[in-house]
A = this chain, B = another copy of it.
Amino acid sequence: MAPKYTLKYFNLRGLGEPLRFLFAYGGIEYEDVRFSFEEWPALKGSMPYGKAPVIETDGEVLHQTMAMGRYLARQLKLTGGDDWEAMLCDMAIDTVTDFRLQIVGYHYEKDESLKAQKKEVLFNETIPYYLEKFDADVKKNDGHFVRGKLTWADLVIVAIFEMLQDMLQVNFTEKYSNLKGIMDKVLALPQIKEWVEKRPKTNY
């Protein structure tokens, strides 16, 4: 039987990887379709709101990474034990999205002078500000993002951190032992470890 899900994204980890981590963790079969930046302009018009990743399933085209991720997480019982914990997962993930948007806003800035300005703020203010708080959150939550439990927040955030570190060529965990702890823990999960070993090698 053909896999139920087809993920379509660039040949990058990027925003595809949080979903690939969820598929891997859950042992959910999917087709991992990857396209190049050169192919993108011709494909963009076929995406629901001109963006990727999308997931095709049952003849429908889904979009919005975290909406799709939350759905998969619910199927995998990874949204915590109740609505409150599900919210705590969402809070952590949305905060990491704020952080990520600052980083990609710098990375893809085309104007050199603006990029230099953004770099200054990013490295001196934004990154230490967020990492310190994330580290404290993980400490307070007994080594996870939500209440000492493995949730999709852990999987998604570790996938994103790993990717952002490689995008910026920096190490987020050097000074933050709790972040190092949760990254090591997620990357040591057998299903994630297996996926990371076999996945296509990309810059980020």
Which A residues have a C-beta under 8 Å from some C-beta of B? 48-51, 62-64, 66-68, 70-71, 74-75, 83-84, 86-87, 90-91, 93-95, 98, 101, 129-130, 133
Contacts and interface: CB of A to CB of B under 8 A. Distances in A.
B71 A87 contact: yes
A98 B64 CA distance: 10
Given A49-B130, A49-B133, A133-B49, A91 B62 contact: yes
Contacts of A130: 49
Contact of A83 (B48, B51, B71): B71
A49 B98 contact: yes
A66 B94 contact: yes
Contacts of A101: 101
Contact of A90 (B70, B75, B87, B129): B70
Nearest to A67: B90
Given A50-B129, A95-B49, A133-B49, A87 B70 contact: yes
Given A70-B87, A71-B86, A63 B129 contact: no
Contacts of A98: 49, 51
A90 B73 CA distance: 14
Q: What are the nearest 6 A-B pairs in CB distance?
A: A67-B90, A71-B87, A64-B94, A67-B91, A64-B91, A74-B83
A168 B5 CA distance: 40
A129 B49 CA distance: 9
A90 B98 CA distance: 17
